[in-house]
Amino acid sequence: MVISPSDLVTQAETIFVVEMTLKGVPYSWADTATMLYPKMFPDSEVAKKFSCKRSKASYIVSDGLGPHCKQLVVDELNRPDTFYSIAIDETSILEQRCQQIDVVVRYYSSVAKGVLVEHLDSCRLGSCTADILLGEVKRAIQDLPQNNLICVFSDVPNVMKSFKAKMKEVNPHILDVGDCCLHKVHNSFGRGLDAFRSDMEAAVVDAYYFLKSSAVRSSSLKAHQEALGLPENVFLRHLNSRWLTLGPAVGRFIEQFDAIKNVVLSSSSCRSGGKIRARLAEAFSDKAFYAKLLFVNNAFDLFKDFLTLFQGTETLVHRLFGEMVALVHKLCGRFMKGESYNPKTGKDLLLLQPSSSVNWKSKVEVGEDTEAAMASWEAAEKKGI
């Protein structure tokens, strides 16, 4: 097939926009490319006629590629015996004072020969009630066979619970597979931190901003790292709303403990560190601070594999029950006698009595490195932590 010169230009512009989109390149680059390509390739007729600035690139995505890709998904979902589930999530866009609702669809693709997760629709809302959510989701899936919808996934705020109940009224055949297992495990770990009553998490956050806001302190950290023979690594940002950030952030704090302590307690930091420096200095004055970091790092390792596994895109529902049981067994194994929880599974685990001292081990497992950090402590001090 012979392609006309104008079609060759259109093809080049389309490929250009597709690659920009896949790589997350800002649309502003299209202005530069349109100016640059004719100069770079003066012997190319396609380059001479290439004209795809930011506005055109945006329209190609929003009015061309976007609808085309969505239609491919809709067409496949309308094939006989193609069942699907949907998931929705909400993200606050503070600068625009609104919330973005994203709807994705998950299904087995006979074309790709595997399970796919595809974006279906997005909308931005000022108010986000259950009824408004229901209307937007119904609009997003209006071109799909309603009888083939098998379940709805979301996180667990009250508005989402109400939304799922309303979806069940509209589509009574959909399956209830419970709430997001990741949120449950993450929230359980968060409650453990609250029960621990430690300012350790706050100190990890403070350390990041203490260094980020000052080139002088960052330079001082580097000098101490060199003197102590520590890796010249930066501190990691932890967000308490993110599942997997605490473990790496605590691990980095432990690795750089002596260096950051020296920076915080140095005379220059005392003069300029402000409230963050004062909080960190108070944390370092706590004899148990380092042991607490080690303990939380050990505890996080119990949850890490589960959280990492179930953030994958592959089909994992067949592994959920076994992994949940294994996680509960891991936790129980730290402080309960083996015969009290093993080989219990499923509903039998709900009958456990972890608060009963009859089921307790004589000694709680806190991790070998935590034990080493407390080796010189009095018995009462160990019991306190």
Q: What is the pLDDT of residue 29?
A: 94
DSSP three-state, residue 172: coil
Q: What is the pLDDT of residue 85?
A: 93
Going residue by residue through the chain, which has 385 residues, state the pLDDT in tens, using 9 for 90 and above: 678 888 999 999 999 999 999 999 999 999 999 999 999 999 999 999 999 999 999 999 999 998 998 999 999 999 988 999 999 888 877 777 788 889 999 999 988 888 889 999 988 887 778 888 889 999 999 999 999 999 998 877 778 888 888 999 989 999 887 778 888 888 888 888 888 877 888 999 999 999 988 888 999 999 999 999 999 999 999 987 777 788 999 999 999 999 999 999 886 655 666 889 999 999 999 999 999 999 999 999 999 899 889 888 777 888 999 999 999 999 999 999 999 998 888 889 989 989 899 999 988 899 999 999 999 988 888 877 7
DSSP three-state, residue 114: strand
DSSP three-state, residue 92: strand
Phi, psi (rounded to 5 degrees) for 123? -150, 160
Residues 269-325 have pLDDT tens digits of 556 668 899 999 999 999 999 999 999 999 999 998 998 898 887 778 889 999 999
Report the distance separating Cα 359 and Cα 332, nearest Å: 10
Adjacent-strand bridge partners of 297? none
Q: Which two tokens stand for residue 177?
A: 């597979």
Distances (CA, A) of 276 to 203, 254, 268: 9, 19, 14
Q: What is the pLDDT of residue 143?
A: 93
Residue type, 330: K
Fold of the domain built from segment(s) 78-178: Nucleotidyltransferase; domain 5 (3.30.420)
- Going from N- to C-terminal start, the domains of the chain cover 5-67, 78-178, 180-385
DSSP three-state, residue 121: strand
DSSP three-state, residue 112: coil
Q: What is the pLDDT of residue 72?
A: 92
Q: What is the pLDDT of residue 268?
A: 66
Report the distance separating Cα 354 and Cα 324, nearest Å: 17
Report the distance separating Cα 91 and Cα 313, nearest Å: 20
Size of the chain in residues: 385
For 123, the enclosing helix (H) or strand (E) is strand 114-125
Report the distance separating Cα 196 and Cα 184, nearest Å: 18
Q: Which two tokens stand for residue 229?
A: 């023979």
Report the distance separating Cα 28 and Cα 26, nearest Å: 5
pTM: 0.74
Place of tokens 């303990």: 295
Q: What is the pLDDT of residue 163?
A: 87
Phi, psi (rounded to 5 degrees) for 92? -80, 130
Q: What is the pLDDT of residue 270?
A: 58
User: Radius of gyration (Cα) for the chain, nearest Å?
Assistant: 27
Report the distance separating Cα 52 and Cα 282, nearest Å: 57
Report the distance separating Cα 263 and Cα 373, nearest Å: 22
CB 196 within 8 A of CB 296: yes
Report the distance separating Cα 216 and Cα 263, nearest Å: 10
DSSP three-state, residue 119: strand
DSSP three-state, residue 145: coil
Burial class (CB in 10 A: 0-12, 13-18, 19+), 273: buried
Report the distance separating Cα 365 and Cα 354, nearest Å: 15
